[in-house]
Chains A and B, each alone.
Chain A
Amino acid sequence: MSEPVKQDVHTDPQRREFLKTGALVTGAAVAPGALLYGVAHSRPPEQPASADVRWGMLIDTSKCGDGCSDCVTACNEENGLSGKTGPQDVQYIRKLDIKDLRTGRVHSLPMLCQHCEHPPCVDVCPTGASMRRADGIVRVDQHICIGCRYCMMACPYKARSFQHEPVTNQKPDVPRGMGCVESCTLCAHRVDRDQEPACVEACNANGHRAMLFGDLKDPDSDLARALKAQPSIEVRADLGLNTGVRYQGI
């Protein structure tokens, strides 16, 4: 019979330290990527938008600053809009002041494309230029828009503008052109890079935090939680469009 092999029960402290550090380093390297994937669902440019997410927004009018238009300024800057407010000028987002005619209560709120699930602008567009991405963002394909403006007739929110003049100083991320219709893209170019829309970023930066952006389909997102916790409304809910932008405080 052979002698049983005696095992050395003594552990090398250096080896343990090595494993601990290794695990920490690996975790630190992988975690942000994994977290980022979970939060923002980033995707490479060649990958189409995913129907697993639906981008949306919750606007708390009680936090929206009266007279503040940082969201409008940020939008104009981001998309290369002139910021002029003549009847023929392009506006993606505007501050809307409303007053209840019975109670006299006033609200100030940003109004933009509501990114409907059933957008009337997409229904009526003859060429399909007005379209809804799989992730819920409604926008105009500037390559096949013929400038008929029927989508502007159909939009319940007056969210679209026709480009009446030649466009200069365009932003590379936001192609635009004379004779086409355009509107808020929910900053699709930023969202595809895991950033928030410019208006939301500006609202957060000034401390109002009235605009919350996120994935409506993710029950753990801040947006979905906020919508679950507090009552909110859709503008023109009677039309049954299931808007991606909701309002609180009205």
Chain B
Amino acid sequence: MAIESCFDQQRCKPGLFWALLGLGGLVVLGMLYAFFTLEHHGHVLTGMDNQIVWGLPHVFAVFLIVAASGVLNVASIGSVFGKKVYKARAPLSGMLALAMLAGGLAVLVLDLGRPDRLIVAMTYYNFKSIFAWNMIFYNGFFAIVGLYLLTLMDRKLQGYSRAVGLVAFLWRLALTTATGSIFGFLVARAGYNSAMMAPMFIIMSFAYGLAVFLVVQSAMYKWNGLKLDEAILARMKNLLGVFIAASLYFTVVFHLTNLYFAKAWEFERFILLEGGSYTVLFWGGQIVIGGLLPLALLYSPGARQSVGTVMAAALLVIIGGLAQMYVTIVGGQAFPLDLFPGHAESSSFYDGVVHGYSPTVYEFLLGFGGIGIAFVLTVAAVRAFRFLPQDDFKALEAEKA
């Protein structure tokens, strides 16, 4: 019986477990429905077109992939930098990284025009393509983090955890560099084409990943009726604060560099001032909800003791992260390509006009399906294995001393 494999025998709630699994399963079913429908009828049913070629599915997919690499940071701080608080959380961190990457990749694959040709993507590589490199990094991530989890959870292999953890840390840095470069290497588009993209994605992954980790950790403690140690909560909330501030800093520098280049002014005017929903999502979503508000919450009086406040801040960071991805991915395409600078352009192919985008239900189903996959994998994993952080408070005291 499933209840036997539950970690916390006293507090197991099989009903809740199956309910959560069922909920996640329904979301994944919705994703499969969208996939098969699009596979049959084509992307004509989506809001994506020849102007906005990457839409909502990519917003969710890239967020999940970036957050997946970021959530592994918790393990890296433990294994690579030797912090015991984080070492106790390394298995949960590694498992979440795998679950979220699986969710993100599923969205990307199921949104392909020819998902049946996945084998082609795995066998034909153009090594000049950063996209091809990403595929190698994703597959390698599964292998390395899987091995890392083994070294963390198998007593006989624990001696290797630091070395494998270091490889995983370096690999995730490379992976996020490559993911940011998918956009950074798009030389022709004003919204991308920036070396800032790679480091900005890395620092954002720190914030998004830690936010996801804090939400999952809080839910698990709550589920098991446990209370997170105040000192540990304070450390993790402060770290999240630093990551949020750093993300804001990179965002400011990214836009400042664009403002310095005359040819990027029009794009900056679009995103920062006149872009309609994109401008609202940038200021309201990315900056206020994803940055300033969580910072205010994390450094508000009493936040040290309040799991609720920290969880609220973490949830805001996740919402802000999705807004950031929307502004970056869809907003970057909505701004028209400038073929003849200094000229007004018009054509039957929508040159010179800001492109609209109205996602349909299929894009939502695909996007949320990615979260559903990560959710189902996480629920099943925490049920079957000991992923609940086991803090050794004596060791923590010794580390502090």
Contact = CB atoms under 8 A, between A and B. Distances in A.
A in complex with B: yes
Interface of A: 85-91, 94-102, 111, 120, 122-129, 144-150, 152-158, 160-166, 177-181, 235-236, 239, 250
A162 B187 contact: no
Interface of B: 41-44, 49-51, 53-54, 112-115, 117-118, 120-121, 124-126, 128-132, 135, 182, 185-189, 333, 337, 339-340, 342-351, 355
Contact of A153 (B53, B135, B349): B53
B265 to A, nearest CB: 14
A162 B351 contact: no
B120 A144 contact: yes
A143 to B, nearest CB: 8
Given A99-B344, A166-B42, A179-B112, A127 B125 contact: yes
A146 B343 contact: no
Contacts of A85: 348-349
Given A98-B345, A111-B339, A147-B114, A162 B43 contact: yes
B51 A150 contact: no
A146 B128 contact: no
Contact of A145 (B50, B114, B135, B340): B114
Q: Which 4 A-B pairs have the closest CB atoms?
A: A147-B113, A179-B113, A156-B188, A87-B49
Contact of A236 (B117, B188, B343): B188
A247 B135 CA distance: 39
A156 B187 contact: yes
Nearest to B337: A158
Contact of B339 (A90, A96, A124, A179): A96
B113 A97 contact: no
Given A96-B347, A98-B340, A179-B43, A239 B187 contact: yes
B190 to A, nearest CB: 11
29 contacts: A85-B348, A86-B49, A87-B350, A87-B355, A88-B43, A96-B351, A97-B345, A98-B340, A101-B343, A120-B186, A124-B186, A126-B126, A126-B131, A126-B132, A127-B120, A144-B120, A145-B114, A145-B117, A146-B117, A149-B54, A150-B131, A154-B185, A158-B351, A162-B49, A164-B43, A164-B49, A165-B42, A165-B44, A166-B42
Contacts of B50: 87-91, 152, 158, 160-162
Contacts of B115: 146-147
Given A128-B126, A158-B337, A88 B345 contact: no
A241 B320 CA distance: 37
Given A120-B188, A128-B126, A148-B131, 6 more contacts: A91-B50, A101-B342, A147-B114, A152-B50, A163-B42, A179-B113
A87 B114 CA distance: 20
Contact of B44 (A95, A145, A154, A164): A164
A95 B349 CA distance: 9
Contacts of A235: 339-340
A179 B348 contact: no
A89 B135 CA distance: 30
Contact of B337 (A126, A147, A156, A161): A156
Given A87-B49, A127-B121, A120 B187 contact: yes
A179 B114 contact: yes
Contacts of B42: 163-166, 178-179
A99 B344 CA distance: 5
Task: Report which residue of A86, A88, A111, A165 has the largest number of chain B beta carbons within 10 angstroms of its beta carbon.
Answer: A88
Contacts of B189: 153
B344 A101 contact: yes
Nearest to A166: B42
A249 to B, nearest CB: 13
B65 to A, nearest CB: 14
Contacts of A153: 53-54, 186, 189, 333
Given A85-B349, A146-B112, A162-B43, A124 B129 contact: yes
Nearest to A87: B49
Contacts of B351: 94, 96, 111, 158
Contact of A146 (B114, B333, B337, B349): B114
Nearest to A95: B347
B373 to A, nearest CB: 20
Nearest to A178: B42
Given A102-B342, A124-B129, A126-B121, A163 B113 contact: yes
A158 B338 CA distance: 10
Contacts of A120: 186-188
Contacts of B44: 88, 164-165
B124 to A, nearest CB: 4
A127 B187 CA distance: 20
B135 A126 contact: yes
B345 to A, nearest CB: 5
B115 to A, nearest CB: 8
B114 A180 contact: yes
A44 B344 CA distance: 45
Given A98-B344, A111-B347, A154 B186 contact: yes
B113 A181 contact: yes
A205 B57 CA distance: 46
A195 B115 CA distance: 36
Contacts of A177: 114
Contacts of B340: 98, 235, 250
A160 B115 CA distance: 20
B46 to A, nearest CB: 8
B117 to A, nearest CB: 5
Contact of A148 (B112, B130, B348): B112
Nearest to B351: A96
Contacts of B121: 126-127, 146, 148
Contacts of A156: 187-188, 337, 339
Contacts of B337: 156-158
